[in-house]
């Protein structure tokens, strides 16, 4: 029987750099877990590709997917919906591969409820001032939206206590390395490896199951 893969969730306040860290992580060649592409109703930004960065859909399509129970989690964020299609996550986990989500904190709370075995990683900014300057430098939102995002971020940081791990995003390489270590350590847990040994012990010297 194939052992189910593990679910890893990267979340944290808006503007902390979740997307950048996730992209840097998946640029590494020896990654053996799958990224779950989110669905969103927001417009694609320059260079974004449908089916790679997101599945870009209309609000009606998104609402239909919610009504039909197709979403593992979803959240409304600055007037747009973002969510994780459930089927891809389940099928990939069932095939034995790990799945990695990069989602906002509301979504992570829903994953904790629906798939409590998921490992939640909180990406945190070194400080709030830096968070603000990152949002300003990104230059994709007006200042009022940035102020709103900062206030939201303060509330989100309080949610760290519900997570399994906290990773400071001081440098992208450090954050990526720490996330990889977390994934490694989680795989070394006895509860993860024990079933392999159990299976091995039921096979005799001729390679037959006892
Ligand atoms: P952006 O518009 O900058 O791509 O993403 C905005 C926010 O939505 C980010 O915090 C990102 O992590 C979050 N996000 C992206 N995909 C999902 C998703 O599938 N579910 C939830 N809950 N949040 C998401």
- With a 6 A CB cut-off, is 22 part of the ligand 1 pocket? no
Residue 193: per-residue pLDDT:
87
Taking the CA of residue 39 as reference, the ligand 1 atom at the shortest distance is 19
**Direct distance between the N- and C-terminal alpha carbons of the chain, in angstroms, rounded to an integer:** 16
Output the CA 11–ligand 1 centroid distance in Å. Answer: 9
Closest CA to 115 of 1, 2, 8, 188: 8
Determine the Cα–Cα distance for residues 10 and 19; give it in Å rounded to an integer: 9
Among the listed residues 49, 81, 76, 45, the one whose alpha carbon sits nearest the alpha carbon of residue 62 = 81
* Residue 38, pLDDT score: 98
Ligand 1: nearest atom to the Cα of 12: 10
**Gap from CA of 121 to ligand 1 centroid (Å):** 15
How many helices (H) and strands (E) are present in the chain, helices listed first?
8, 9
From 71, 80, 82, mutation site for ligand 1 pocket: most ligand atoms within 8 A of C-beta: 82
CB-ligand 1 contact for 18 (6 Å cutoff): yes
What does the alpha-carbon distance between residue 183 and residue 174 come to, in Å, rounded to a whole number?
14
User: Which atom number of ligand 1 is nearest to the Cα of residue 74?
Assistant: 22
Known binding-site residue numbers for ATP: 12-19
Residues in the chain: 210
The residue ranges of the chain whose pLDDT is under 50 are none
> Is the model's pTM score more than 0.85?
yes
Secondary element (H or E) of residue 159: none
pLDDT in the model for residue 152: 77
The per-residue pLDDT for 40 is 98
Q: What is the pLDDT of residues 154-183, one digit of tens each?
A: 787 788 889 999 999 999 999 999 999 999
């Amino acid at each position: 029987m194939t052992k189910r893969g593990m679910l890893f969730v990267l979340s944290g306040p808006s503007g902390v750099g979740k997307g950048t860290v996730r992209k840097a992580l998946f640029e590494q060649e020896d990654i053996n877990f799958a990224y779950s592409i989110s669905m969103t109703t927001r417009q694609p930004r320059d260079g974004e590709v449908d089916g790679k960065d997101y599945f870009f859909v209309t609000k009606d399509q998104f609402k239909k997917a919610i009504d039909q129970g197709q979403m593992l989690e979803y959240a409304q964020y600055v007037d747009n919906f973002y969510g994780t299609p459930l089927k891809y996550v389940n099928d990939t986990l069932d095939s034995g591969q790990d799945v990695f989500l990069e989602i906002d904190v509301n979504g992570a709370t829903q994953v904790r409820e629906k798939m409590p075995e998921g490992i939640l990683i909180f990406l945190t900014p070194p400080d709030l001032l830096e968070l603000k300057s990152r949002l300003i430098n990104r230059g994709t939102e007006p200042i009022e939206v940035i102020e709103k995002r900062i206030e939201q971020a303060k509330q989100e940081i309080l949610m760290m206590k519900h997570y399994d791990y906290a990773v400071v995003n001081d440098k992208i390489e450090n954050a990526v390395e720490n996330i990889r270590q977390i994934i490694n350590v989680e795989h070394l847990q006895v509860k993860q490896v024990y079933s392999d040994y159990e299976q091995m012990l039921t096979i005799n010297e001729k390679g037959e199951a006892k």
